Structure 1
C-alpha cells in the first residue's frame, strides 16, 4: 500500500470529522459544503481501493491475508457514503454527528489497513 495515500485519507477523514463535529456543536445539520468534503474523502478512499486491488493483481500479498485486506478496503470505501446517506435521513445536528463519527471510523480503518498490509 502507499503509505502517503493512507495518511492522506486518514487526515482528510479526521478533518471532515472535526468540521462536521463543529457543525454539530453549533446545532447545524450537514450542508452542501459538508457533502463536498465527503466527496473528497470518498475519492481518496476510492483511489486507495483501486491501488489496493492493483497491488493484489500484480502479485503483492498483505501480511495478514487477502480476504481481510479486501474487506477493509471495501469497508473504507463505503464508510463515508453510508454516513452521508444517514445524515440525509436525519436533517438535524445528529446528521452532522453521524458524519463526524464516520470520519473517525474511516481514520481507524486506515490504521488497520496499514497494519494488515504489513506496515
Structure 2
C-alpha cells in the first residue's frame, strides 16, 4: 500500500471526523455522539463546555497528526507501518487529557462551575 494512501486512511480520516465534530457538535446530552464521559454528561453546561473544548483540541492535534503523517510518507525510505497510527493515538489521547484537565479546572465534582 502506498504510504500516502495509508496516511489518508488513518490520519486523514481522523482529521475529517474532527472537522465534522467541530462543525456539527452535539446539542443535547446523548449516548451516541459527542465527548461522552461520566463527568461530561453530568449536566448540559458541562456537556457543552466539554464538547467545545474536545472538538477544538481534536481539530488542532489531528491536523498536526495529518501533516506529520504526510511528512513521514514523503521522507520515508521504506514502507511506513505503525508511525501514522501512533500519531492518531497521540492526538486522541492528548485531546482527552486536555479536556479532562479543563473540566477539572472549571467544574466541581458535583457539576457546578468553579468561580
TM-score interval, normalised by the smaller of the two chains = 0.3 to 0.5
> TM-score, with normalisation over the residues of structure 1?
0.45
Answer 1 or 2: which has greater helix percent.
1
Q: Pick the structure with greater CA Rg.
A: 2
User: Higher relative contact order by CA 8 Å / sep ≥ 6: 1 or 2?
Assistant: 1
> TM-score, with normalisation over the residues of structure 2?
0.46
